[in-house]
Amino acid sequence: MSFQAAGMQELVNAVRGTGATNVIMLGGVQYAATLSQWLANQPTDPLNNLAASWHVYNFSWCHVKSCWDGQPAPVAQRVPLVLGELGQNDRGRTFVDSLMDWMDARNGSYLAWTWDVWKSVWDLIQSYDATPTPYGGAFKARFGS
H/E stretch holding 134 = helix 134-143
pTM of the model: 0.89
Q: Distance between alpha carbon 92 and the CA centroid of its chain, in Å?
A: 18
Domain extent listing, the chain: 8-143
Architecture of the domain made up of 8-143 = Alpha-Beta Barrel (3.20)
- Of 103, 100, 89, residue with least CA distance to 141: 100
- What is the rounded distance in angstroms from the CA atom of residue 119 to the CA atom of residue 43? 40
| Tens digit of each residue's pLDDT, the chain (145 residues) | 688 888 999 999 999 999 999 999 999 999 999 999 999 999 999 999 999 999 999 999 999 999 999 999 999 999 999 999 999 898 889 999 999 999 999 999 999 888 899 988 888 999 999 999 988 999 999 887 6
Q: Distance between alpha carbon 6 and the CA centroid of its chain, in Å?
A: 21
Strands 81-87 and 24-27: unpaired
User: How buried is 140 (Cβ within 10 angstroms: 0-12 exposed, 13-18 middle, 19+ buried)?
Assistant: middle
